[in-house]
Chains A and B, each alone.
Chain A
Amino acid sequence: MTTDELTTAVPTAAAPDRLRRLRSVPPIWLVLAVALAVIIWRDPSFAEPPSLMAFLKRCAPLLVAALGELFVIVSGEFDLSIGALMTACVVVAARVGDGDPTRTWWVIPLLLGLGVVVGLVNGLVTTLLRVPSFIATLGSMLVLNGATFLWTGGSPTGALADNLRRVGRSGITGLPVIGQLPWAVLVFVVVAVGATLLLHRTRFGHQVFAVGGGVRAATLSGVDVWRTRTAAFVLSALSAVIAAILLAGFAGLSQDAGAGYEFQAITTVVLAGAVLGGGRGSTVATVGGALTLQALFTLLNIFGYPKPLRDTAEGLLIIAAGAYTAYRARRSG
């Protein structure tokens, strides 16, 4: 195309271009807007800043975990181990911390270290030993679950220190309008901004997309595939550790603290339009996905549906999201 063609083409293309940009907004935001509107219609107090903050606080652990899972899924793999890792973190923090606030300063680095080890093992088993990540991380899940409770003798022991729980439970109080800014919300904003910059603005982020889009093409253009994927697994595990610390705050110590989080995180990422198999996904849409899932649960609660139906709603939503993504890919491809 010559420069002449380009300049003449631009003005005529402007109008459909804007329409196309509107259509390229992930539909998850539309679903979220409708869900929030219905919630506020049924329960106007929900729109008040303090209860919005409480809502965001409830979303925080899933959001942080999902942002980590996103890196792995964009790179073309799965991470089924994050739920077990989250449980392990909560149980380990209670056992070694034993409710003593002075130990928290080394408990948190210890947990992050555990996360790095789990992420490295997942990544290296997947890339160097060529075990499919579904199996590799299923194995980590079994090993983590087994090891954690073998160590504690079947049920969690010890207690979570107060200052550790504060991260997930309390916040900066006495602020105008919102009243309290929960630490959890602050953490998820920081993680979301960090993940966005890392995935969409850095060379590493581009490499994650390249690896997920096609291993051969990525290798030929000089991307270190195994290093990129391993780094994605480490990021996922680190996010799970942060999510576990938030969860320890408001859910406390329990032996199934993180159970099911791996599938919820994958659901969230898929709701946000990411494709299993890699190469597509966005951090901002993932935030939308997590908020939508939580809004949907709130909605079912308001209408008084029994709790199990949450699963049914989530199942329908994930199939709809998968079908929509596939439909879009067919039309644009």
Chain B
Amino acid sequence: MKTLTAPVRLTGVLRTDRSEGSSRLVWLIFLAVFLVAWLVVALGGGSFVTVANLQNIAQRSVALGLVTVGQTLAVLGGSLDLSVAYVVSLAAMTAAVTMAGDTSRVPLGVVAALGTGALAGLANGLVITRLRVNPFIATFGVALILRGALNAAFDNFAGKVPDSFQTLGYDVVAGVPVSLFLLGAVIAAAWYVMHRSRFGHHVYAVGGDAEAARLSGVRPTRILLAVHVLCGLCAATSGLFLVSRLGSAAPWVGPDGGYDLESIAAVVLGGIALSGGKGRLLGPIAAVAILAIVDSVFNFFQADPFLRTLVRGVVIVGAVAVYAYREARENA
């Protein structure tokens, strides 16, 4: 039998947390960046550690952070999702149009937005698993389809969320923005799923070697479908947060934030291998916080936004080069 000739490797399934790597390095970098930012801003005559500024950094992290959690799951499963930016827009538009400024329709709007996100993720997953299209092409194709449909249907801001829903974007409880609780809850749930549940182990197994995982009894098709649905849900949650900030939605709210490439950049900055199956969930979260701190320092000095883009490019490539160097040395 053909299937039995391949070596049956159980390591993919029986992996311990230890071999998934550690996000400690990224958190150390986060700490260093935080201290440097503090120092630089203090030397510039400002104060970095104020409640207002820290709240600002947190708010900034929420939208990208939510998308990045989903993207991390997709990349760990050996896939990736280029459609997240348009899923963010799709969910934001759905929520704004469904709620139409009416408080009693908030639950309906939230369910509808999450539903469209899950459906978009399911579409990605089905194209990848059933039609066996490369994830890059599949999710890029879905992104184009969504972009065309959104831009054909809306050419400006549309819909409205009620003021009661905007509390998610603006309210602060005990000095902590409400949206941070949302991000925290999503991260906690994802962390539990990825690092403490059987499903999480299976995602690592499929991302590490789908064929080995299949031979040891995991169904890669199901895992990939689930991972893409979860990724769509995370992007939709981010869309809900954005629409609560903006009060209304436009087709370009997602792509203007650059959430597709930025979330992938955050994932690799967080020490997750693009080839899948390696790295821990909290790494990319630290990376999102690092990017938000750097942004806030640039804002403080009112630096040219193009300088920020340039620095971001160098930082991303530099960080990944360091990871690649460390890994090559460890393997040698």
User: Residues on A close to B: CB < 8 A?
Assistant: 78, 125, 129-132, 134-136, 138-143, 145-150, 154, 263, 266-267, 270, 275-277, 306, 308-316, 318-319, 321-323, 326-327, 330
Contact = CB atoms under 8 A, between A and B. Distances in A.
B152 A309 contact: yes
Nearest to A308: B151
A168 B172 CA distance: 56
Interface string B106-149: 00000000000000000000010001111011101111111111
B310 interface: yes
Given A308-B152, A322-B138, A150 B261 contact: no
B141 to A, nearest CB: 4
A318 B257 CA distance: 25
Given A132-B268, A135-B320, A150-B310, 16 more contacts: A135-B316, A138-B265, A145-B310, A146-B308, A146-B313, A149-B306, A266-B140, A270-B137, A309-B152, A311-B148, A312-B147, A312-B148, A314-B144, A315-B145, A316-B145, A323-B132
Given A312-B149, A315-B144, A150 B307 contact: yes
B274 interface: yes
**Most B C-beta atoms less than 10 A away, residue of A142, A148, A306:** A142
Interface residues of B, number: 44
Given A135-B268, A136-B317, A322-B137, A143 B325 contact: no
Q: Nearest 4 CB-CB pairs, A to B? A: A146-B310, A142-B313, A312-B148, A315-B144
A323 B133 contact: yes
Q: Which secondary structure dominates chain B's binding surface? A: helix
B268 A319 contact: no
B188 interface: no
Contacts of A306: 152
Contacts of A125: 317, 321
B309 interface: yes
B328 interface: yes
A83 to B, nearest CB: 12
5 contacts: A132-B268, A146-B306, A312-B144, A312-B147, A315-B146
Nearest to B309: A146
Contacts of A316: 141, 145
B153 to A, nearest CB: 9
B330 interface: no
Given A145-B306, A146-B307, A308-B147, A129 B321 contact: yes
B321 A326 contact: no
Contact of A142 (B145, B264, B312): B312
Contacts of A309: 148-149, 152
A279 to B, nearest CB: 13
A326 B320 contact: no
